[in-house]
Amino acid sequence: MKSGIDIQTELARRGLCWSLRDLSSHYYGMAPNYACLRGDRGPSERALINLFRRLWEERHYILAARVAWTVLWGDRSDG
């Protein structure tokens, strides 16, 4: 699943995340090398759900809503 927003850029712009390792482990809840291994494929649905939960916990409601939109209605590469 491709995400409809550039998550790392958006988080970095807001001063929340500066590296792919930080994004992978803190926000996606995955291994530190997860985002690098995914490359152009973007995060999986599971990673986006973890991201949504983390953003909601940290009270970043607008970003969480954008992620939810991506999970529910974003571009789908699996049919």
pLDDT on residue 5: 67
pLDDT on residue 58: 96
Per-10-residue mean pLDDT, the chain, length 79: 68 91 95 91 91 96 90 65
Distance between CA 55 and CA 36 in Å, rounded?
21
